[in-house]
């Protein structure tokens, strides 16, 4: 067994759930093997939870909420501070596991754990800043204010591409707000989740906290559906494809629960004639091939002014043909594997479709084979000349395909192309022209939740609210006031007079 697995207390057979300190039984007859996309080797096995186990976890969480909500928010923040410290101690081992289980390069694995540490720090500060407003009442000797209370159980459904960070955005904020969490990680990356749960278990034990505050449950879409349809779970935060989010959103809406959806992106970078091209090229490359094109913020479309199109394309082709592709744990490699063979097939299928539609592949687009690449998960990132209205360009293909699209005339034309997709997560412009930049950021500009200037579409800092519009789902996670999604707001009016005046000056004498 690899050293980092030992350091993270991952066993070769792992149970289906944990309520924080206790772990579910390990039954040998229902093992699910988790293979690495890096070398197709068995990392460890896990099990999926049964409906009874699901129910047990929810009941334990319900009981824990009664306790946890009484603990003052800054004291809850202190627990999260300790979790952040534990994560610091395990940063290299966890970064390595994330890299090995998911396939992102080690630097990005480390970055993901850093994102967790940062969000812990953010949540600690937030635990003293869960502010509500005070209003001046229109009635004499009355006071009005609002306060925020925790919701209860927050169900967190996370995706394989950020197997740990997105959980922490949700769980750490939810926790300081006084909620308890049930985390259902992607069925493709359960071991990274088990590692996190083991790390936080230590903090929970040391602080004599009860079972049920941070829960983990492993399973496929049936567990996701159980959470989405469960009235005992007032908020579901789900990250994944638009297809998945639509199902979850509909199920939650049907019981009038709350959902926080962070779904697909079809993110574009606009390069205008006034761009710093060298900066733009670097940002595009990281955005399009980083994480092997498997971030929801990955750059999928490049909208380039016709006057610089040829120059940009030639530069990109010269970079793409030399990209170091290989084992993501090796130094110098910039592109690791896709998550599995199915993803490689989806990549090929999308390229076939774009070719049929009239697109032209300028670089990459192959599934690699041979000794170093025998898993069938390594591909060469593709650069494809395309039109925005091709059906496949309108879709999010979770892989390293960058569609090159020309625009003519002024920036408005580029913005129209950019906005002409169903998704609305991230966007960027490269321009040193103040007018262009401000138009891009104005109401008539980008329609996305994230709009950047002279930086790429991916790699957002945790301090801002993260999420997008349209089919991206509308949710906001992480920084700014995203915490409000994890609380219920209550407006309070207090009368300390001897009269009972009605609002709006209504007279109602009995």
Q: CB-based contacts of 58: which residues, under 8 Å, 6+ apart?
A: 153, 182, 230, 232, 233
Output 20 or 459, the one with its CB closest to ligand UN1. Answer: 459
Site residues for ligand UN1 per CB under 6 A: 115, 159, 161-162, 166, 239, 295-297, 458-460
The first and second tokens of residue 429, run together, are 């412009």
How far apart are alpha carbons 439 and 91 in whole angstroms? 41
DSSP 142: E
Q: How far is the CB of 290 from ligand UN1 (least distance, A)?
A: 8
| 262 has catalytic annotation | yes
Q: CB-based contacts of 384: which residues, under 8 Å, 6+ apart?
A: 351, 354, 359, 360, 361, 362, 365, 401, 402, 403, 404
Output 56 or 301, the one with its CB closest to ligand UN1. Answer: 301
Output 23 or 347, the one with its CB closest to ligand UN1. Answer: 347
Strands (E), 276-381: 299-305, 360-363
Q: How far is the CB of 244 from ligand UN1 (least distance, A)?
A: 12
Q: How far is the CB of 110 from ligand UN1 (least distance, A)?
A: 13
Asked if 218 and 193 count as a contact pair (C-beta separation under 8 A), the reply is yes
Q: How far is the CB of 487 from ligand UN1 (least distance, A)?
A: 23
The first and second tokens of residue 352, run together, are 């076939």
**Residue nearest to ligand UN1 according to CB distances in the complex:** 460
Q: Which of 115, 262, 436, 477 is catalytic?
A: 262
Asked if 191 and 97 count as a contact pair (C-beta separation under 8 A), the reply is yes
Output 36 or 239, the one with its CB closest to ligand UN1. Answer: 239
Q: How many angstroms separate the most distant Cα atoms in the chain?
A: 89
Any idea what the Cα angle at residue 369 is, between residues 395 and 378, rounded to 5°? 40
Q: How far is the CB of 169 from ligand UN1 (least distance, A)?
A: 9
The first and second tokens of residue 199, run together, are 């790390």
Output 196 or 213, the one with its CB closest to ligand UN1. Answer: 196
The count of other CB atoms within 10 Å of the CB of residue 433 is 14
Q: Would you name the residues annotated as active-site residues?
A: 262
């Amino acid at each position: 067994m690899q050293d980092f697995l030992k350091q993270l207390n991952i066993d070769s057979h792992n149970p289906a759930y944990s309520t924080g300190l206790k772990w579910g039984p390990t039954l040998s007859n229902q093992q699910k093997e988790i293979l690495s996309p890096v070398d197709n080797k068995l990392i460890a096995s896990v099990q999926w939870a049964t409906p009874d186990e699901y129910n047990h976890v929810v009941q334990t969480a319900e009981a824990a909420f009664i306790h946890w909500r009484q603990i003052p928010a800054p004291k809850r923040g202190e627990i999260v501070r300790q979790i952040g410290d534990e994560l610091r101690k395990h940063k290299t081992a966890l970064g390595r596991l994330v890299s090995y289980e998911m396939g992102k390069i080690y630097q990005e694995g480390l970055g993901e754990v850093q994102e967790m540490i940062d969000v812990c720090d953010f949540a600690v500060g937030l635990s003293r800043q869960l502010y509500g407003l005070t209003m001046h009442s229109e009635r004499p000797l009355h006071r009005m204010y609002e306060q925020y209370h925790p919701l209860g159980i927050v169900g967190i459904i996370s995706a394989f591409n950020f197997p740990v960070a997105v959980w922490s955005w949700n769980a750490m904020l939810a926790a300081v707000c006084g909620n308890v969490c049930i985390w259902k990680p992607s069925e493709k990356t359960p071991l990274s989740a088990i590692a996190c749960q083991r790390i936080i278990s230590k903090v929970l034990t040391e602080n004599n906290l009860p079972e049920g505050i941070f829960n983990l449950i492993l399973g496929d879409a049936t567990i996701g559906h159980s959470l989405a349809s469960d009235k005992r779970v007032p908020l579901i935060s789900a990250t994944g494809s638009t297809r998945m989010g639509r199902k979850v959103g509909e199920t939650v809406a049907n019981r009038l629960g709350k959902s926080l959806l962070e779904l697909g992106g079809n993110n574009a970078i606009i390069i205008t004639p006034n761009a710093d091209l060298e900066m733009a090229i670097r940002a595009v490359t990281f955005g399009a091939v980083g994480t092997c094109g498997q971030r929801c913020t990955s750059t999928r479309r490049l909208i380039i002014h016709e006057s610089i199109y040829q120059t940009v394309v030639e530069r990109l082709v010269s970079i793409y043909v030399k990209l170091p592709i290989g084992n993501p744990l090796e130094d110098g490699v910039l592109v690791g594997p896709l998550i599995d063979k199915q993803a490689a097939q989806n990549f090929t299928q999308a390229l076939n479709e774009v070719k049929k539609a009239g697109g032209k592949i300028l670089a990459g687009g192959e599934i690699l084979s041979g000794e170093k690449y025998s898993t069938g998960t390594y591909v060469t990132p593709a650069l494809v000349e395309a039109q925005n209205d091709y059906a496949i360009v309108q879709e999010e293909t979770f892989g390293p395909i960058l569609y090159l699209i020309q625009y003519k005339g002024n920036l408005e034309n580029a913005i129209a192309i950019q906005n002409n997709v169903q998704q609305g997560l991230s966007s960027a412009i490269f321009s040193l022209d103040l007018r262009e930049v401000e138009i891009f950021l104005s109401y008539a500009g980008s329609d996305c939740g994230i709009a950047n200037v002279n930086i790429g579409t991916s790699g957002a800092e945790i301090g801002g609210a993260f999420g997008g519009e349209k089919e991206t789902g509308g949710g906001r996670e992480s920084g700014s006031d995203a915490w409000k999604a994890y609380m219920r707001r209550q407006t309070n009016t207090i009368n300390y007079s001897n009269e009972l005046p009605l609002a709006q000056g209504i007279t109602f004498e009995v």
